[in-house]
Structure 1
């Protein structure tokens, strides 16, 4: 195992001091290789040392202006700081430079979500879902964007796919409950709100939905 791989493993094992020491050695031994700076930037970002992480990512880009993963790293740290426009620009650049991974499309989609630009988020979340079709969080956010664009039929299919991955996903049940109300299926809505509450008893929106549907059913069923 080379030193860089060893450092990444230490980071994954949450041995952060050990990882930092190894990354420092990697950079000292290969000062013109952007990879060491990018990986150290990832570590610094992980511990919320955002200013230092930014410097390491930018150093990597000085060495290689086409280092797509450095742009991805910058996008992530700007996203963590709610600088969504800057995050968006960096994720877009990472994609332009050929980074073809679910995570970068997902994060770009989420930057548009955070800016309430739901129509723009859709193609990126859809692409992320295509690349990582078993990731329940990616699927859920894609479904949410569809619902926010009032594409309820498609959203319903995606939320149902989320439940195939995890039938205890409370927010997927809640959103299916809301869609059922739009479809005038109050009993289906109630079933989903109840399922959401079984999975998450403090789900306030599901509790409110359940209360309203029960009142509606009581009034209309005598």
Structure 2
């Protein structure tokens, strides 16, 4: 196992000092290879040392202006600081340079969602779900973007697909409840909110949804 690979393994084990030492060794041994700088930048980003991380990613790009992973690192850095326009620019650059992975499309979709540009997020989240169809979080965010774009029938099917992957996804049940409520299917909405609360008893939105539906059902029964 080379030092870069070992350093990444140390990061995953939360052995950050050991990882930093190895990445520093890589840079000293081969100062013109951008990979050491990118890995060190990712470590610093994980530790929320944003300015230092930015310097390492930029150094990598000085050495190789076509380094897709360096642009992806910068995208993550800007995303973590809620600078979503800069995040989008860097994620798109990473994609253009050939980093066509689910994580890139997912982060692009999330960046657009955080700017409330839900329709713009849709193709990226769809592509991410196609590339990693076992990830319930990616699929759930795609469902949210559809719902926010008022494409409710498609959103409903996506949330049902999320529940096939993860039957204990309380937020999927909650959002199904909202869709059923919007469609005036009160009993179905109540059932979804109850299922969300059965999984997560402190789900405040589901509790509020249940309360509202029960009030509406009571009003209807009194008419």
Aligned to 1:142: 142
Where structure 1 has 5 or more consecutive residues not aligned to the other structure, the ranges are none
Which residue does the alignment assign to 1:82? 82
CA–CA separation in structure 2 for the residues paired with 1:5 and 1:168: 35
Partner residue in 2 for 1:59:
59
Partner of 1:165: 165
Q: Counterpart in 1 of 2:21?
A: 21
| CA deviations over 1:82-127 (Å, ceiling 9, x no partner) | 1111111100111111111000100011111011111111110110
In the aligned structure 2, how far is the partner of 1:13 from the partner of 1:146? 36
Which ranges of structure 2 fall in alignment gaps of 5 or more residues? none
Equivalent in the alignment of 1:113:
113
Query: Which residue number corresponds to residue 181 of structure 2?
Result: 181
Secondary structure at the aligned position of 1:82 is classed as coil
Residues matched between the structures, number: 222
* 2:11 aligned partner: 11
TM-score by length of 2: 0.97
- 1:126 counterpart = 2:126: yes
CA distance in 2, matches of 1:4, 1:114: 33
SS at match of 1:221: helix
Is residue 2:200 matched to residue 1:204?
A: no
Q: Pairwise CA RMSD of aligned residues?
A: 0.9
Q: Structure 2 CA distance, aligned partners of 1:179 and 1:83?
A: 31
Q: CA deviation at 1:4?
A: 1.2
In the TM superposition, residue 25 of structure 1 has moved relative to its aligned partner by 0.2
Structure 2 equivalent of residue 98 of structure 1: 98
Give me the TM-score of the superposition, normalised by structure 1: 0.97
What corresponds to 1:219 in structure 2?
219
Aligned partner of residue 100 in structure 2, secondary structure = coil
